[in-house]
Amino acid sequence: MTDLLSKKPIPSQERLIMALDLPSVTEAKNLVEILGDAVRFYKIGLELFMAGDYFELIEWLKGRNKKIFADLKFFDVPETVSRAVRALSAHGVEFATVHGNDAILEAAAKAKGNLKILAVTVLTSLDQGDLKDLGFECDIQRLVLSRARRALALGCDGVISSGLEVPALRREIDEKLLVVSPGIRPVENRPVDDQKRVVTVEQAFLNGADYIVVGRPIRDAANPREAAEKVQAQIEEVFKRVD
């Protein structure tokens, strides 16, 4: 079944976003060099932000023709988020994540410039029990759909969503919504890390994701470049089915 497969004109090689979850910029650069042309799009988050030289790393990646997803999950009073997004947009990154209520999402969307704002729906490290602990009584799918509808209406470009909820997003929300799915595991096995709601590469795209984020399965592989190339081959194979 390929009816939910993304129709957006995104180069196949850019649908993989590699998570640079590493403790230092030096280690991040070393991994990028190892991966070479096997990866074109990188996510850099809070760990590297706190390590220092975050914006130097952005410029270094841009100098190597890489695309950048700044995963900082802005969550603050709307005016502060607006100013932070406006400042980030000057650095030429592709995506940024925002967490929060309608006022926060709207403030980010109004300040985005050429930056695409992705609203966080429900983190892939949370399951139904975790949501209950946080005071949410609705099920995960209903919460993801509600947040996605509001995000699009408020001017956001897309959402971060587990591949498990993507089919519902595609059935019920405008196709223009960008969907980026983390929690990807290249093979079907239960993760031994903090990710709880995971899917395979093939499942994520057949469910309708536009992009996937992969970190540990590539970073911790014996041969990271080979692991990245295998993921790219899986993506290419899925999209060949509709050529």
Q: Would you call 79 exposed, middle or buried from its count of C-beta atoms within 10 A (0-12, 13-18, 19+)?
A: exposed
Q: Would you call 86 exposed, middle or buried from its count of C-beta atoms within 10 A (0-12, 13-18, 19+)?
A: middle
Report residue 174 as tokens.
């405008």
DSSP assignments along 30-44, one per residue: HHHHHHGGG--EEEE
Q: Where does the chain show beta strands of DSSP type E?
A: 16-19, 41-45, 67-74, 95-98, 116-120, 158-160, 178-181, 211-214
Report residue 135 as tokens.
């005071």
Name the residue among 147, 141, 80 with its Cα closest to residue 118.
Answer: 147
Q: What is the 8-class DSSP label of residue 94?
A: S
Tell the residue number behind the tokens 């970190």, with chain if given. Answer: 215
β-pair partners for 68: 42
CA 68 to mean position of chain CA atoms: 11
Residues identified as active-site = 73
Report residue 213 as tokens.
């984020």
Report residue 191 as tokens.
């993760």
Distance in angstroms (rounded) separating the CA atoms of residues 129 and 236: 36
